[in-house]
Amino acid sequence: MDTNDQYGGHHRTPGRVRLVVAAGAAALTLSAALATPLSPARPQAYAADDGGRVLTVAVAQSVDSLSPFLAVRLLSTSIHRLTYEYLTNYDPEDNHVVPGLATRWESSPDKLTWTYTIRSDSRWSDGRQATAEDAAWTFQTMMTDPGAATANGSFVSNFEKVTAPNPTTLVIKLKKPQATMTALDVPIVPKHVWEKVDDFSKFNNDKDFPVVGNGPFVLTDHKPDSYVRLKANRDFWRGAPKFDELVFRYYKDQDAAVSALRKGEVSFVAGSPSLTPAQASSLKGEKNIHVNDAPGRRFYALAVNPGARAKNGETLGDGHPSLLDQRVRNALFKAVDRKAVIDKVFQGHAVEGAGYIPPRFTQYFWKPSPGQELTYDPVEAGRMLDRAGLRKNADGRRVGKDGKPLTYRVLCHATDPNDKAIGRYLQEWWGELGIGVTLTCLDNVTDPWLAGEYDLAFDGWSVNPDPDFVLSIHTCAALPATPEDTGATDNFICDKKYDELYARQLAEYDPDKRAALVKQMESRLYDLGYMNVMAYPNAVEAYRTDQIASITTMPAKAGNIYGQDGYWSWWSAVPADSGDSSGSSSSTGVVIGIVTGVVVLAGVGAFFARRRRATADERE
Amino acid sequence: MTADAASAPLGKPGARTATAYPRYLAGKLAGAAVSLLAVLVTSFFLFRLIPGDPVRFMTGGRQVSSEQLANYREQFGLDLPLWQQFTDYCGKALTGDLGTSYQFNAPVIDKITEALPHTLLLTGTAFVIYTVLGIVLGTRSAWRHGRLGDRLNTGLALVLYSVPSFWLGLLLIVTLSVGIGPLPGLFPTGGMESGGEEGFAYVLDVAHHLVLPVVTLVAVEYGQTLLVTRSALMDEMGSDYLTTARAKGLRDDLVRRRHAVPNALLPTVTLIFINLGRTVAGVILVETVFSWPGLGGLFYQALSVPDLPLVQGLFFVFAAAVIVMNTLADLIYPLLDPRVGR
Amino acid sequence: MTTGTGMTKEQGSSPVRSRSLARRRRRDSAARFWRQYRTHRAGLFGLGALLLFALPALTAPLLVGSDVDDVTDAPGGPLEDPSTAFPFGTDRFGRNLLGLVIWGARVSLLVGLLAAVLSVAIGTLIGVTAGHFKGWYATVTMRITDWFLVMPTLVLAIALATVMPRSLLTIVVAIGVTTWPTTARLVRAQTLAVETRPYIERARALGGGHWHIMSRHVLPNVMPLVLAQTTLIISSAILAEATLAFLGLGDPTVVSWGALLQDAREAGAVSSGHWWYLVPPGVAIAVVALAFTLCGRAVEQVLNPRLGVSR
């Protein structure tokens, strides 16, 4: 390759050119033709019953795995909720535990043995009876095979032994008492199908459709990044779902999902994590669309690095030392205008933050007393920082103990617009205090997070009906054993007083007394200032009322539809009578689109025809 | 991309013996092999620079003991020294094994072969259309050089060439898919199929989904083919033999079709191949905007984890597409142009 | 490939006179260049469009105030429709979108220019040295160049931007490092052509070192080509900046046109019918990219009419 631009104008044999061009075109056609049959054709085995009612849900997440032993993403675990029974479920009214595959459960006086009665009216979709043996096998596999413990291993880490003395009795022996034995969110799989799997760490459960299950729906098809299809289980013990089919269709882009809803291509859109305020307000005015703007189950907080360390006492990461001072943490939070966050960023689709647990869990919701509350007061925040010894220098910048101007690194999720938006506000609010902010936005914050390499971070968790998990992640016990391990800890909080309260609530069996202890923990967490809850974002989702007549939210009064603890929403959804009008509207779209295409093609054809004629004329 | 004019295949002037082509061929193939190897090396080392521990990404912050982490490291060969990981990677790559995706827990090659047909369908369709469109319009433009039609033609091509493809895609979604004002949404907002159709209805459904992404790609890509065809043809029209041909009394149209166009197509043919390779790699944005389940979307998704084996594999595929197409152009060029390589 | 600047007659009479002569010749050729450039209507249009964008961008602090991107005291409500107060409406923070587009021009143009300069600098360095030092050095560098040439630019730039921390510098480097090979090829070819000229032989015979020949003789001759190339690369660099910012690989706190488009998309502007949030930044990108392309083509044609217009 020595000279440049060899394009010259000399005489060459045109015939050969034509041949090569033709060959190229043929090759292309071939590749295009190859492309089509290669895309898996839809299996004939499960053709949607004609005239069947289909509920289509737009999702933004792709499936990580369809194996219940591996799946961790919300979409995948939601699908497992729908296709496999768990031992217990939560009531959609008020989240109390209700029977699932187990009808009753009791613990021994020493609290170490739990006995579940397994229902005898649940059948696998291949006709076999679901028994205690299936449940025992599922747990045993997770206990013995590390590959099977990938997703839900933490549920069985305290299990001593699991047995099924008879088809309706499941016995679990524990190493030490565990209060969450009625909240084992583990899909029970059919032993006779799964015992043939040799490597659980590789098996994705996505080859043999329909997948044998016993939930309200049966998984019938999955095409990666396109759709997941489920068929109603007519024999479901709680009663068959009202829709005949449930399809999760993948829309990478939320705008695409919203416009698909608008056009009736999908029945429901949840957004990830929720619709934007602009989308919600534009959908509100739309005919036949209902926007469900309900209190969410998430809290949205500003976490502070408390000087990350492991259980063995070794420190890790490089959190800013000035943040070890509680006055500094509280001062920073006092300079965060939570009202502006709600009004400007969430535009009203959130509730101002207070305690750790969102208000929708009324039992556990806690609010700081007026004297305790860190109200927005930037002036007072400045004074608090002065008192903490972080004074302003001549340039108006606050200086740390090391004499250097303070700049905090705030870790944010590049995928969450709210993080970025609030990050900009933080820059300006704390800039007023004389503190610099570097916003580090990453698609995946896991690594700096686990390594403790941040000063502050945007944090948020979905809270379960039983708050044990979200409380446990702030105990010293959750710290990693050594800096090399990954602990269950959220942001390395370790506080003796908090831990004492945690142990007491875990041992407390009286619900009211336990709730009181939980509130004390929230109060402690609030004062510590390591976990500053800014807001409780609403679940903002929308569905078409001409396709879905009614659907159960959770909690029933005002709650979310997508991502419930249970299968209530899709199981309960009632098709609207005019359900098929949407189908025709979308097919109208197809017709119009095709007509347009034909017109364009005809135009192009006419153009060439005209040219041909013109050349023919010229040719005599 | 401005790179294309110079990335045209270049022959070795002076080598005109009959045996030169096999040698030329061997040289080009060897060059391509070296390039592919270099891509393999780059894809391996470049992404090792992403800060952070892949195992921690893999376990997604779940509670895992250091033993479990060590297990994962062993399973994915991350406990080995870097050079050994590299030789393993290369060795496996030769057998078509590109490793296992962290996030999908499936062989990378499976994920790629799953998405590749979708990308080929999209780029293939767009490619055929914009190439034909570019050549046809370019020829017309050159023939009416300087006239209003030519100016409008090149003007529009330049304008569309300057438009960011993702933005054009978004605008098309707003206007033709969401619908604006009284205009209803004519096309699906994204994805490749509605799901549920079979047989001919399925083909129509996919075609319907294909329209907007293809229009976007064609709009931003055809301009280049047009301009190259036009300038090549204009060069050709200044040639002596054409003047002679015309002087002999041949009709303009005949001269154009018999002589000028075929010769001018030569540089265009090479451009065509290079474009095809580039379009496969350049489709990331369009796939992202239209939620098309192809390689581009997969790449973007893999980068955000980061799913190193998948990222590496896709990077390799993208670069390989360009290399293979460039090599094909190199190989075909001397067959077309007798001055080169024989 | 030859350029119109007449340097071939450079002969040493008295050094002072030769320098003033050279200066005059340069002035003359600049004037000639401008006279010819003026005849290209598209080039003039491009130049005009550039001025139209460059002036507000340069005077933005006076024009819209440097607090236009402040979120805490944004003047309007989020996503307001266009009005007399906000001709382009407001963004999702309630900021004046017109002001942001003007402010964003600074970043987009700056990144585009810096990236193009970086790219062309690398390309020129490689091209001149590879053309001057033949032998294994040229072989190796040209192999590397060819290899970079076949790398899919966007994919490589995305990969680089992912690997490095998110900042403007990252974007500049990612674009610069991936787009230089074209320039290197062109400059090398030109260098080879220049070095065959007799006066280079003479300079060499008179004891001119490598550095002297490259900097005093080769470089001035490839400069026009480099200039045209820079103009063309700025256009693609601006598009690349917008692309990377749109994919979320830019600095999230910096306002650029690409970042505005990403903001718009994240706010759900596409599906909620706020099209006016999308249009201005996109039009700005397209017009500026087009303007640079037109200027580049005009420069190219002036310098080398025979080259035709290959882009």
pLDDT tens-digit profile of B23-67?
888 888 888 888 888 888 888 888 887 777 777 777 765 667 777
Average pLDDT over residues B209-233: 89
Cβ separation of B198 and A47 shorter than 8 Å? yes
A15: pLDDT strictly greater than 70? no
Q: Chains contacting C with at least 3 CB pairs below 8 Å?
A: A, B
Q: What digits encode the pLDDT tens for the residues C291-306?
A: 999 998 888 888 765 5
The torsion defined by the Cα of B304, B305, B308 and B311, in degrees rounded to 10, comes to -30
Q: Which helix (H) or strand (E) holds A115?
A: strand A113-118
Q: What percent of chain A has pLDDT over 90?
A: 50
Cα separation, B258 vs B93, in Å, equals 47
Q: What is the CA radius of gyration of chain A?
A: 29
Hey, what are B309's tokens?
A: 């084996």
Average pLDDT over residues B232-260: 73
What are the chain A neighbours of B306 within 8 Å (beta carbons)? 443-444
**pLDDT at residue A597 in the model:** 61
**pLDDT at residue C305 in the model:** 56
Q: What residue in A sits closest to B203 (Cα-Cα)?
A: A36
Average pLDDT over residues B153-175: 90
Q: What does the H/E/C string look like for B299-324?
A: HHHHHHCCCHHHHHHHHHHHHHHHHH
Residue C87 CB coordination number (10 Å): 13
Cα-based angle C289, C294, C297 (whole degrees, multiple of 5): 125
Secondary structure (DSSP) of A399-432: B-TTSSBPEEEEEEETT-HHHHHHHHHHHHHHHH
- Asked whether the CA dihedral A122, A128, A129, A132 is positive or negative, the reply is negative
Cβ separation of C253 and A439 shorter than 8 Å? yes
Whole-number average pLDDT of chain A: 83
In single-letter form, the type of residue at position B194 comes to S
Distance from B165 to chain A by nearest Cα, in Å?
16
Cβ separation of B282 and C154 shorter than 8 Å? yes
Q: What percent of chain B has pLDDT over 90?
A: 14
Distance from C77 to chain B by nearest Cα, in Å?
23
Q: What residue in B sits closest to A604 (Cα-Cα)?
A: B133
Please identify among residues 154-173 of chain A the ones whose CB lies closer than 8 Å to any CB of chain B.
154
Given a contact cutoff of 8 angstroms between Cβ atoms, the answer to whether A373 and A304 are in contact is no
Domains of chain A with bracketed CATH: 15-295+541-586 (3.40.190.10), 300-537 (3.10.105.10)
What are the chain A neighbours of C186 within 8 Å (beta carbons)? 4
Average pLDDT over residues A77-94: 92
**pLDDT at residue A408 in the model:** 95
What are the chain A neighbours of C271 within 8 Å (beta carbons)? 254-259, 262, 279, 282
**pLDDT at residue A429 in the model:** 94
Hey, what are A494's tokens?
A: 């370790």
B190: pLDDT strictly greater than 90? no
What are the chain B neighbours of C151 within 8 Å (beta carbons)? 39, 42, 319, 322
**pLDDT at residue C209 in the model:** 84
B339: pLDDT strictly greater than 70? no
Whether B21 and chain A come into contact, CB under 8 Å, resolves to: no
Average pLDDT over residues C75-104: 87
**pLDDT at residue A115 in the model:** 95
Residue found by looking up tokens 């200039």 in the block = C227
Distance from C179 to chain B by nearest Cα, in Å?
8
More confident residue, A579 or A310: A310
Cα separation, A611 vs A607, in Å, equals 6
Cβ separation of A7 and B62 shorter than 8 Å? no
Please identify among residues 341-360 of chain A the ones whose CB lies closer than 8 Å to any CB of chain C.
344, 347
B115: pLDDT strictly greater than 80? yes
More confident residue, C288 or C65: C288
Given a contact cutoff of 8 angstroms between Cβ atoms, the answer to whether A180 and A119 are in contact is no
- Of A348-357, A598-607, B176-185, B295-304, the one with minimum mean pLDDT is A598-607
What are the chain C neighbours of A278 within 8 Å (beta carbons)? 78-79, 92, 267-269, 272, 274
Give residue limits of the domains in chain C.
Answer: 1-31, 38-307
Whole-number average pLDDT of chain B: 80
State ipTM: 0.84
- Closest Cβ–Cβ partner in C70, C185, C270 for A255: C270
Best of A251, A420, A444 to disrupt the C interface (most C CBs within 10 Å) is A420
In single-letter form, the type of residue at position C287 comes to V
Distance from A595 to chain C by nearest Cα, in Å?
25
Rounded to 5 degrees, φ, ψ at A318 are -145, 50
Sheet holding A456-462, edge to edge: A350-352, A531-537, A298-304, A456-462, A407-413, A436-442
**pLDDT at residue B63 in the model:** 66
A219: pLDDT strictly greater than 80? yes
Cα separation, C22 vs B178, in Å, equals 63
**pLDDT at residue A20 in the model:** 40
Q: Which helix (H) or strand (E) holds B165?
A: helix B165-172
A16: pLDDT strictly greater than 70? no
B340: pLDDT strictly greater than 80? no
C252: pLDDT strictly greater than 60? yes
Best of A2, A4, A5, A10 to disrupt the B interface (most B CBs within 10 Å) is A10
Q: What is the CA radius of gyration of chain C?
A: 23
Tell me the range of A90-99, A161-170, B37-46, B268-277 where mean pLDDT is highest: A161-170
Whether A487 and chain B come into contact, CB under 8 Å, resolves to: yes
Helices within A87-218 (DSSP H only) = 132-144, 153-156, 191-194
Q: What residue in B sits closest to A60 (Cα-Cα)?
A: B291
Whole-number average pLDDT of chain C: 84
Hey, what are B20's tokens?
A: 């030169």
**pLDDT at residue A596 in the model:** 60
**pLDDT at residue A578 in the model:** 52
Average pLDDT over residues B183-194: 78
Average pLDDT over residues B139-167: 88
- Of A256-260, A460-464, B277-281, C129-133, the one with minimum mean pLDDT is B277-281
- Asked whether the CA dihedral B240, B241, B247, B253 is positive or negative, the reply is negative
Q: Determine whether domain C38-307 maps to CATH 3.40.50.2000.
A: no
What are the chain C neighbours of A341 within 8 Å (beta carbons)? none
Distance from C149 to chain B by nearest Cα, in Å?
7
**pLDDT at residue C5 in the model:** 41
Average pLDDT over residues B258-276: 74
Hey, what are B203's tokens?
A: 């083909």
